[in-house]
Amino acid sequence: MAKENQADAEKFLEDYRKNTDKNLPIISKATLAEQYQSETMSTVITGMAVSVIIAFVGILNFINSMVTAIVSRKKEFAMIQSVGMTTKQLRKMLIFEGLDYAVLTLAASYLIGTLAVGIGVRVMVASSWSSTFQFTIMPLVLCTPVLLLFAVIVPCICFKNIEKASLVERLRAAE
Q: With bands split at pLDDT 50, 70 and 90, how would you rate the model's confidence at 107?
A: very high
pLDDT tens profile 121-134: 778 777 777 677 77
pLDDT tens profile 32-45: 888 888 888 888 89
Instruction: State the amino acid at position 126 in one-letter form.
Output: A
CB atoms within 10 A of CB 137: 12
How many residues in total does the chain contain? 175
pLDDT at 30: 76
Segment 86-100 shows an average pLDDT of 92
Nearest alpha carbon to residue 117 among 105, 141, 130, 134: 134
Pairwise CA distance, residues 90 & 167, whole Å: 13
pLDDT at 2: 67
pLDDT tens profile 14-34: 788 787 877 777 777 778 888
| C-alpha torsion 121→123→124→126, nearest 10 | 120
